[in-house]
Structure 1
Amino acid sequence: MTTSEPGDGLTASQRELWIALLASRAAGGPRRAVKHLLQAGRAHLLTLIAELSEVERSDAHNTAVRLHDAGVQALLCDDPRYPDRLRCFAGSPPVLFCRGNVDLLKGSAVGVCGARDASTEAIRAARACGQDAARLGVTVVSGYAKGVDTESHLAALNASGSTIAVLAEGIDHFRVKTSYRGLPEAALGRMLVISQFPPGQRWTAGAAMTRNHVIVGLAHALVVVEARESGGTLKAGELALKEKRRLLVLAGSVEVSQGNKQLLTAGARRIGNRAELVDAFGRLDTEQPQQLRLG
């Protein structure tokens, strides 16, 4: 008589979730999990998972079934559907937990970031980013926070475009926020929600900073709408410059924020009006591919 092992009896998509839930723990952390998957291969990672306790593997089995039933799927970094532009980016996560249409990860994408307590001008600019991206068939990637994030997400969806919401917590904590509830079902169907964190992990400031790596990594260009002189938006812009991703910083006729000035001084491209924004969005596909990072 054979005995059943944790992970047995799962469908293919449930098994991907099971592996995703255990990968970082088995490998000794997210970065090591990426290396194991991209260098040693899936089979090697599975031997490490087999060394975990039966309780850990069984708990992951039950969680995988629950997540699958809730419409969640996992993209490990060795999956062909995992975007190359994120896979080659510094700090890329070993897994993305996803709810929605993962095909949105294939096309051109622009990251939009800015302050939660954004100014009136920044709110208008965030809406312009979402609208213009939608009209050009470019997916908006942002952080699902209030302020600039929400305005860019909603503007894209209301203009019949698509958007990717990158969470700063586990996907178990995702809820459709009040400001999105007036959208038609078809609009919500053009929204992909992703998280790199364990499903039950709660929001922290550190996770929000880490989440910004995914926003920058997924985007062909990052738009900074309004950055303070410190904080997550400024750090995201600095990351884009460091990793040689296109950085577009809004600097219209009204006084430019301190963080935007810092990024412009550091080498970001100034966007002074909407025509320049549209032109920049239209050139996203000219980006040169980067070499794959494994370190």
Structure 2
Amino acid sequence: MEPETPSEMAPSQARDFGRALCVITGASKGFGWSLAREIAALLKPGSVLLLVARSGDKLLELQADLASSEARKAGLLVRCVVADLAHKEGVESVIREVRETPGEGLDHLLLFNNAASLGDVSRYVKSFTDMAEVDSYLSFNVSSALCLTSSILGEFPQRSGLRRCVVNVSSLCAVTPFPSWVLYCTGKAARDMMFRVLAEEEPELRVVNYAPGPLDTDMHLQARSSTADPNMRKSFVDMHSQGQLLTCEQSVAKLIKVLLEDDYPSGAHLDFYDL
């Protein structure tokens, strides 16, 4: 399967996202990295691309990669925030950087809640007795997404001429239980519902929960190496050995197509394979 390019997309859709503030969490690798590279070319001059991750070295590497591209030459400002979103200070550092972007003249606000962790998949539900461990996982994977989204929307309230879009990078695990994946499934299900509620409360927002499909990333390597449930682990190993994993570029291309066509019910859970 070859990734779609903007030239292959439906002619009825928008060709770019205008002059935008685009925030991507978890941008230092995998899906977030590919998303940053692909979306940069679809932001008009004067746009700001804000990249957030815990790895400063990887963010600088991505920034340098974007700096050599045509998108950067066209007037895209790329800023990096090294932040651990598991902690209040990390979320606040992103908000401080967002406040440095003036809202006047912006056509689009795009927030991609991509940062997430798999959690310990080597154990079953009955072994999770430590509340501090569970709280730490949920803080990074759920609480930070809620507080970051709410804060950014507060900085850029609804106004005429500004289109606001919030994307939650979801998973099949948000709707299907995976044995020995209690933390990940719980976090993804909570995030999906969180953004469904947001869509109900803020009808002028565009909100989507996007499940990118099985990606060839470090997270999938962890899944096929560490998953406790033998049937689940075998399915992940087989998926990899049989070449059934998607590239991040393939999945990103489909998400961008969905956003540009803008023809989805706000708050919907959209899976790569259903589009």
Into which bin does the TM-score normalised by the smaller protein fall? 0.3 to 0.5
* TM-score of the pair, normalised by structure 1: 0.35
Bigger-Rg structure (1/2) = 1
Higher RCO structure (Cα 8 Å, ≥6 apart): 2
- Please give the TM-score of this superposition, normalised by the length of structure 2: 0.37
